[in-house]
Structure 1
Amino acid sequence: MPPRRILRASAALLGLVTAFSLTGCGNSADGTTDEVAAKGGGKNGLQINLGPDQKRVTTAKVDSIAALVPASIRKRGTLEVVNSAGSVPPLTFYATDDKTVIGVEPDIASLVADVLGLKLHYNPVDWANIFVGLDSGKYDVGLSNITVTEERKEKYDFATYRLDNIAFEAKKGTGWRVKGPKDVAGRSIGVSSGTNQEKLLVDWSKENVRKGRKPTDIKIYQNTSDYYLALGSGRLDAYLGPNPVAAYHAASTGQTEIVGTFSGAGTAVQGKIAATTKKDNGLIKPVHEALNTVVRNGAYGKVLKRWGLSNEAVPSSELNPVGLPKTAS
């Protein structure tokens, strides 16, 4: 599941990215395009292609893995991938034509389809209908920032492809790093209300007080533009939010940087994002092998790099790993 509040903040974030005066350039040949560059990023900013012609990173079909795909899907010739609709850079959002779905999730889905020798057919829906569609067999696999949980493992199979992290984003060049609770003692940190991030900050602040340190000054923000203004003016030392959004913003503007990342699941387990299929439908094994193929051949790394998410890379895809416990909120 996307980190809480990510959908609520999505429209504001897309508006903020637009507000950084994205300007047109030309595409490079390898998918790491420079069609759109964030003004102010310059040499320090990530070159972002927001156009419909993505020139995605591609990879070759692997016949031995393609042969593992259930016969009905091979006969159809398409991989029906489902993702939550909306504008959530850099996960899944719409290109400048307002109809082409782009982002890191579609790029990874495209690589999986390449290895399996199938044509990618993308199905953007609302969040709840991802699981309804998987349950009914309407869709083959979900790639939509879905976190592995023990409860979901009762109904679905998972093949991991990214870490589920939250991140402290600070003004670039501060030299400050967050490795644990003591690093935020006495600091002013922004966060969205009702999120796991807020809970972590509250818990850390209480721990600091117990140990004789200063409490954290926790500032609540609901609008993306507000906390970025506060960061820029120095009213905040950092903002704690979903890593993909923070990493994308930092890489595309060159004005902020990630100063610490932690599991979105808290300290109990490292949260992991995974391709999701209906349990025992026969597809998760070839999807798992396809993901490991693109990790090994480097295509996966190129995709994460083009969206500024290299810090969420996994060394290999795991099949049905330990997920968030049922007691997790």
Structure 2
Amino acid sequence: MPQAHRRRRITALAALAVLGLFAASACGKDGDSDAPSSNTVNGLSYDLSPAQSGRVHAAKVDALAAQLPAAVRDRGTLVVTGSVGATPPLRFYATDDRTPIGSDADISYLLADLLGLKVETRIGDWAQNFVKVDSGEADVFVSNVTVTEERKEKYDFATYRLDNIALEVPKDATWTYQDRKSLAGKTIGVGTATNQEQLLVKWNEDNIAAGLPKIDLAYYEKTSDYYLALSSGRLDGYLGPNPSAQYHAASAGQTKVVTTLSGAGDALQAEIGVLTKKDNGLAGPLRAAIQYAIDNGLYKQVLDRWGLGGEAVPQSRINPPGLPKKKG
């Protein structure tokens, strides 16, 4: 095994340990991985294997495929980029440490099926994914991307899930969350360049203006690092995507979720969308494919498979109101 792959595999296994996945109910193996092939959380069994035999598929719908730009239809592939973390159930590595799986991966495969395309997967960190779409290397960015007014200037969105975020704290924490003032003087972890960070920055400014202690924003390279910091007491809380927070809190048993709210805060109910380059002709057929999946029950099957039924949208929308622009 090459040294780089060995290091990567060790890192992934360590992340799985942090998540409590080794307490899984089924302990089959995939390839040379020692990680369990499934995990049961809150009564739902999650398939962690690269095979993903339970993935929801669909037949091509000619009327949807006909809406695609000719270049994409003739090429026969949908090139999907996204970030891959160690936090189920959105987009994470299977037990082979190579295959991206999760709800966002399933959405990508379902849309490709309906449009008569094959999926080509790209992987990048958060900022790199936008660059891949900008350059044309990828057609779409599917990785829990929130619709924002700033992003809509360069990109089109076809929405497929509500965007809810959660504040996760150590299980033995005694403080409670009421509003932004509850975070004054606390150290809160948050991902760089996310809508969660934008919210925390705004709350911090409002707290300071009100004469309250500042919120200490903490940044780490990986989500698993946030969870280690939470469990060791170096963080008072972590503000991140609700699906991952709920999964981690239930699976690892070392943390708890004290509040959930819209990814746009009090401004509006934020939505997650498939991101593509503006005016490239893909947003329309993507929205139509998502709506077809909603109307025919396929969409519900995907969300239920990953425990995300509570974040379903009643309809897919192109470029709905998004998280407001940053001031200044």
Q: 2:31: which partner in 1? A: none
Q: Is the deviation greater in 221-230 or in 93-102? A: 221-230
Are 1:191 and 2:194 counterparts? no
Matched ranges for 1:6-45 at <5 A? 13-18=15-20, 20-24=22-26, 35-38=37-40, 41=41, 44-45=42-43
Q: 1:318: which partner in 2? A: 317
Are 1:67 and 2:66 counterparts? yes
Residues 1:219 and 1:283: Cα distance change in structure 2 (over 3 Å): closer
**Matched residues, number:** 298
Residues 1:249 and 1:305: Cα distance change in structure 2 (over 3 Å): farther
Aligned alpha-carbon RMSD (Å):
3.9
Q: 2:46: which partner in 1? A: 48
Gaps of 5+ in 2: 1-10, 29-35, 221-225
Q: 1:281: which partner in 2? A: 280
- Give per-residue Cα distances to partners, 1:224-278, cap 9 Å, x unaligned: 1342476xxxx97x76433122122245467876553212222223322111111
Q: What is the alpha-carbon distance in structure 1 between the residues aligned to residue 144 and residue 314 of structure 2? A: 18
- Give per-residue Cα distances to partners, 1:194-225, cap 9 Å, x unaligned: 84565577589789x99xxxx99989876313
Q: Is the 8 A contact 2:19 2:87 kept in 1?
A: no
Q: 1:81: which partner in 2? A: 80
Q: What is the alpha-carbon distance in structure 1 between the residues aligned to residue 152 and residue 110 of structure 2? A: 24
Q: 1:92: which partner in 2? A: 91
3-state DSSP class of the match of 2:23?
Answer: coil
Residues 1:186 and 1:253: Cα distance change in structure 2 (over 3 Å): closer
- Give per-residue Cα distances to partners, 1:85-134, cap 9 Å, x unaligned: 44343222211111111111111101111111111111112333322222
Residues 1:20 and 1:202: Cα distance change in structure 2 (over 3 Å): farther
Are 1:225 and 2:228 counterparts? yes
1:271 corresponds to which letter in structure 2? Answer: A
- Give per-residue Cα distances to partners, 1:54-111, cap 9 Å, x unaligned: 1211223221111101111111111111112443432222111111111111111011
Q: What is the alpha-carbon distance in structure 2 between the residues aligned to residue 321 and residue 13 of structure 1? A: 35
3-state DSSP class of the match of 1:268?
Answer: coil
Q: Is the 8 A contact 1:181 1:204 kept in 2?
A: no
- Give the alignment's TM-score, normalised by structure 1: 0.73
Residues 1:187 and 1:142: Cα distance change in structure 2 (over 3 Å): closer
Q: Is the 8 A contact 1:82 1:141 kept in 2?
A: yes
3-state DSSP class of the match of 2:64?
Answer: helix
Percent of aligned pairs sharing the same letter: 48
3-state DSSP class of the match of 1:273?
Answer: strand
Residues 1:45 and 1:111: Cα distance change in structure 2 (over 3 Å): same
Gaps of 5+ in 1: 1-9, 27-33
Q: What is the alpha-carbon distance in structure 2 between the residues aligned to residue 280 and residue 136 of structure 1? A: 14
Q: What is the alpha-carbon distance in structure 2 between the residues aligned to residue 116 and residue 82 of structure 1? A: 17
Q: Is the 8 A contact 2:300 2:312 kept in 1?
A: yes
Q: Is the 8 A contact 1:66 1:115 kept in 2?
A: yes
- Give per-residue Cα distances to partners, 1:303-327, cap 9 Å, x unaligned: 2222232332211111111122222
Residues 1:294 and 1:144: Cα distance change in structure 2 (over 3 Å): same
